[in-house]
Structure 1
Amino acid sequence: MFIGTDECPIDFLPEMQFCAAQGMDHRKCCASSGVSGSSAGEKCLTFCDQRPDHYTPIDYSYAPCYDR
């Protein structure tokens, strides 16, 4: 996904995250589970808030979020 050789391009990450979080804000749970403990820090909590009115463009700087 991150090096461009995967069938699932990084452009689809927002849609995948929205479906996984079922359109809800899970930041408190994520924070207590240590989601912001990667080198990307608080940025990773973006994936936990997937309410329909929140949109964050995803780029390669979010890759460390997937290390946890």
Structure 2
Amino acid sequence: MATIYQIKLIKKGTEQTLIIPQELNLNTDEVTIKQEDNKLIIEPLKQKTLLETLATLENIDEEFPDIS
């Protein structure tokens, strides 16, 4: 069974911050956060592979010079 942690939210202006316990630290600098029903779900940001990134680029309609 998963351990449940109770932590306090820190309110600053209109934003809230939470400190994630060390046992739950994620090995990333960026996360995605979404709300489903009454739950917040925090997940590591999935980095795109090089092929996924290249697939988002527009085709080049330019002729390349012959370098042989």
TM-score relative to the length of structure 1: 0.22
- Which is richer in helix? 1
- Which is richer in strand? 2
Greater C-alpha radius of gyration: 2
TM-score relative to the length of structure 2: 0.22
